Structure 1
Amino acid sequence: MKSSRRNFIKQNAKLGLSAAFSLSAGSSALEKFSTQYPPLENEPIIDIHQHANYSGRAHDQFIAHQRKMGISKTLLLPSGRPVVTASTHEGFANGLQAKAGGNEVCYALTQQYPNEFYFGANEVPDIPEAIGEIEKYLKLGAKVIAESKFGVECDAPEMQEIYSLAQEYDVPVLMHWQHEMYNYGFDRFYKMLEKYPRVNFIGHAQSWWANIDKNHRDQSILYPKGKVTAGGITDSLLSDYPNMYGDMSAGSGLNALLRDEEHAQIFLKRHQDKLLYGSDCNDGVGEGKECQGAQTIAAIKRLSASKSIERKLLYENAKKLFKL
């Protein structure tokens, strides 16, 4: 098992280096691609949650995917470096458990396409280099510390150092909540919201969206189905704390919209100033049933009670929160 984990780490490291190299060595190919598949100029949409090299997806395929979805601006969320620590589950979660590219890869892609991409900053929290690495990219202009997808207590000292850094640089922190896997202690996270009122936190993933339901009791169920009773932990955090936002990306966000569409309409209206569109999908299609990100856009458009709410969810909230 240890040998396979070491190989996994090496492969991720090579992936990051090769991806960064391809941006410089293959710039002419990407430039040719850019003229072949120009960006769309329809109503703008900001995608706050995507990854470079997601599941090995090539850059040209990724760019085509985003343009096909109609995305105007994309926020690239990097992984931390590949290491064997408790927070990466001894290497299992390296690359955000998705082969996602790190800070260097996201930054390089943003420099190549400055009109379409912004970048975040990230690092494995329980290593000595964490704060220095994150701050390096914040100084370069990172818009968010994300994606925080590590096996740590949400109020651990190393996480609070990151929250303090976010406060200093006035950027949000996006957290992946997954029961007994990533960011432990969801039920007491309100204490961090109170301790760091100047930091805007963005909730994401299975446990975040499962807990829109007041009756969600079994936290091991990550994609609950059926009717939703308003007043769950997530619902309350969005209502009670001005520095709490929600990321509607991934299968968990789409499931929350589709499991009870009547509730979803009310939920979107109630939290219209606190919710943000993200895709977080690794396909190469960018449309139809094969693309979860495209399905989420369609659901938001269908379930928004007004055009004003739709534009907030797909564009205006993100523009304001990330100062784009």
Structure 2
Amino acid sequence: MNKDLKVDLHVHCALKRKETGRVSPRNPLDCYVADDKELRAHLELQGIGKAVLMSSGEGKIVKKGFGTNEECAAIVQKQPDFFAWMCNLDPVDPLTVYERMLRLKEQGAIGVGELSVNEWMDSPFLTEVFASAEKLDLPVTIHMSPEPGYEYGVCDHAGLPLLEQTLKQFPKLKILGHSQLFWLEISSDCPKEGNQNRTAMGRGPIQPGGRLEQLFRNYPNLYGDLSGYSGSCAMLRDEAYGLKFMEEFSDRLFFATDTVNKQQTFPFGVYIDKAYMEGRLREVTYKNICYQNAKRIFNM
């Protein structure tokens, strides 16, 4: 990998192209999941030199389209110069979580993600996932949801009290926040009620004093996955605030795209390049976000 190319910390693909219909009602472009050859070619055109696969789990519980642990490991075995992978666990049998996660780490997993089990964040299963990941020094990328039964994702209330509780309970666990619900909390006026409101894309100027600002300052084990439109929207909806946020937390933010096929593009990659070239973003901040943090935290 060229040291100056970006690391994409969040992508999805499969060993063979999979037709999925619409994975998300919000995204008309995710009607299929690309194979590794297509995805690599598409990402390389965007200046990406390494990509981390998100897993759908162990395969016991079927999830539409995305690669299982076994598929992700096989893709990395085919193309170890370009791909790495995070593992995932099916939400069954909390008592065996540590043993299962240990085996997956021994098979090459560098983290846990994208964790999207649709339970409250303090449920017995998720608590065991976080405890095991801390013991095994595996960072965890979480997709968040407002409540069980609504779409998918680890569930928390407005203001993210369960996330804060988890950060306190497992201080050595690195948690990477992701999804609209997580990034909406960057503004102090984010919606407090309504599932659709709490999972909408943020709009307009960011009001200071948001929960994410507080949590990032208070908990050094909280990190940010800038993938998808949720993370990039949080940085771009109020450019002055976004640049300030990236500078303050440059050692805990990761460039990522959440790409599933070649139909998708990620304008934030162009934006961050331009901001750096124009001197609006320090070199150390740019390099940290684009690749240095990934190399340091995930030992790539």
* TM-based fold match above 0.5: yes
Aligned to 2:116: 149
Alignment partner of 2:33 out of 50, 56, 62: 56
Please list the CA deviations of residues 189-226 of structure 1 after superposition, one character each: whole Å capped at 9, or x if unmatched. 11111110111111001111111001113453221210
Aligned to 2:144: 177
What SS class does the counterpart of residue 176 from structure 1 fall into?
strand
Alignment partner of 2:265 out of 280, 285, 291: 291
Alignment partner of 1:318 out of 278, 284, 294: 294
Q: Is the 8 A contact 2:117 2:154 kept in 1?
A: yes
Q: Is the 8 A contact 1:45 1:72 kept in 2?
A: yes
Aligned to 2:22: none
Once residues 261 and 305 of structure 1 are traced to their aligned partners in structure 2, the CA distance between those partners, rounded to angstroms, is 11
Q: Is the 8 A contact 1:257 1:299 kept in 2?
A: no
Report the RMSD for the aligned CA atoms in angstroms. Answer: 2.0
Aligned to 2:50: 73
Q: Describe the shift of the 1:81–1:171 C-alpha distance in structure 2 as closer, same or farther (beyond 3 A).
A: closer
Superposition pairs of residues 51-200 of structure 1, within 5 angstroms: 51-53=12-14, 55-81=32-58, 94-95=63-64, 99-127=65-93, 130-180=97-147, 181=150, 182-185=153-156, 186-200=160-174
Q: Is the 8 A contact 2:12 2:33 kept in 1?
A: no
Once residues 246 and 169 of structure 2 are traced to their aligned partners in structure 1, the CA distance between those partners, rounded to angstroms, is 27
Larger RCO (CA within 8 A; separation ≥ 6): 2
Superposition pairs of residues 243-282 of structure 1, within 5 angstroms: 243-282=221-260
Answering whether residue 210 of structure 2 is matched by residue 232 of structure 1, we say: yes
What SS class does the counterpart of residue 177 from structure 1 fall into?
strand
Answering whether residue 280 of structure 2 is matched by residue 301 of structure 1, we say: no
Aligned to 2:18: none
Q: Is the 8 A contact 1:110 1:119 kept in 2?
A: yes
What SS class does the counterpart of residue 101 from structure 1 fall into?
coil
Once residues 248 and 164 of structure 2 are traced to their aligned partners in structure 1, the CA distance between those partners, rounded to angstroms, is 20
Aligned residues: 268
Cα deviation, residue 66, structure 1: 1.7
TM-score (norm 2): 0.83
Superposition pairs of residues 2-17 of structure 1, within 5 angstroms: none
What SS class does the counterpart of residue 297 from structure 1 fall into?
helix
Q: What amino acid is aligned across from residue 186 of structure 2 in structure 1? A: I
Greater mean alpha carbon deviation, residues 131-140 or residues 163-172: 131-140
Q: Describe the shift of the 1:42–1:193 C-alpha distance in structure 2 as closer, same or farther (beyond 3 A).
A: closer
Once residues 184 and 255 of structure 1 are traced to their aligned partners in structure 2, the CA distance between those partners, rounded to angstroms, is 21
Greater mean alpha carbon deviation, residues 127-136 or residues 223-232: 127-136
Q: What amino acid is aligned across from residue 188 of structure 1 in structure 2? A: L
Q: Work out the percentage of aligned pairs sharing the same amino acid.
A: 26
Cα deviation, residue 134, structure 1: 2.9
Q: Which has the larger strand fraction?
A: 2
Please list the CA deviations of residues 248-267 of structure 1 after superposition, one character each: whole Å capped at 9, or x if unmatched. 00011121122111211111
Once residues 175 and 139 of structure 2 are traced to their aligned partners in structure 1, the CA distance between those partners, rounded to angstroms, is 6
What SS class does the counterpart of residue 239 from structure 1 fall into?
helix
Cα deviation, residue 42, structure 1: 7.2
Q: Is the 8 A contact 2:97 2:128 kept in 1?
A: no
What SS class does the counterpart of residue 176 from structure 2 fall into?
strand
Q: What amino acid is aligned across from residue 308 of structure 1 in structure 2? A: V
Once residues 103 and 210 of structure 1 are traced to their aligned partners in structure 2, the CA distance between those partners, rounded to angstroms, is 30
Once residues 234 and 165 of structure 2 are traced to their aligned partners in structure 1, the CA distance between those partners, rounded to angstroms, is 25
Q: Where in structure 2 are there 5+ consecutive unaligned residues?
A: 15-29
Q: Is the 8 A contact 1:44 1:315 kept in 2?
A: yes
Q: Where in structure 1 are there 5+ consecutive unaligned residues?
A: 1-38, 85-90
